[in-house]
Amino acid sequence: MFDKVIIFTHVFAGITTLLSGILAIVANPKGNKLHRISGQIFFWCMVVIFVTSIIMTIFIKFNFFLLGIAILSFFMSFTGYRALKRKKPNEVELVDHLVAYIGLASGVAMITYGIVTFLQNTDNYSSLILSGVFGMLLASNAYKDIKHFKKTEYSKMWWWFHHMNFMMTSFIAAVTAFLVNNIYKVVDLGSLNFIFWLLPTIALVPLIIRWKKHYKKKFKLN
């Protein structure tokens, strides 16, 4: 019964995350009531997903990649959420430091895991690629955030772009988790299945880049 409750909660939070994330993305102008409410739902569902992922890993079934994605998505959503509370980069609390250093350690652990599993089995290149991509994404962003905490000079509207970048990356991680949990029921590419882990990143990163250019122009930051 415990297993079913945790899994149901995890799945329900996952679906709600996707729906609320889409609403937050399409809501215009940014910062309106729909954007704020859907963003709040997205963030707290990410918290639920993170907690239930930890519980499932410990008590139900260990899945390193999905645990890593859960940590990545939580770190990104937390950092993006906190950017709205911190109008100055160095206005940080203990929890900001804690999450950043845990994110850095988790990213390094993912990269290490990919290297070790590849050395044990050189045919397992998908593990190396996935661990490398997501581990580097997590570790590099966590390290950037740690450096960011020390800044005394910062650009205008930095918090806007910090919020957008991290929230969108969190959404990409959520889409990735949903996709890889369901796509194999429909399509199986065998040794190339790792491609499905990378598709959301490939598809949505250009959108983030386009939005950054749009808002830099809008805020006259160019």
DSSP string, 41-101: HHHHHHHHHHHHHHHHHHHT---HHHHHHHHHHHHHHHHHHHHTT-SSTT---HHHHHHHH
Look at residue 19 and tell me whether its pLDDT is greater than 80: yes
Q: What is the pTM of this model?
A: 0.86
Instruction: Give the angle 75-39-157 at the CA atoms, nearest 5°.
Output: 75
pLDDT in tens, 49-93: 999 988 888 888 877 777 887 888 899 999 999 988 887 777 888
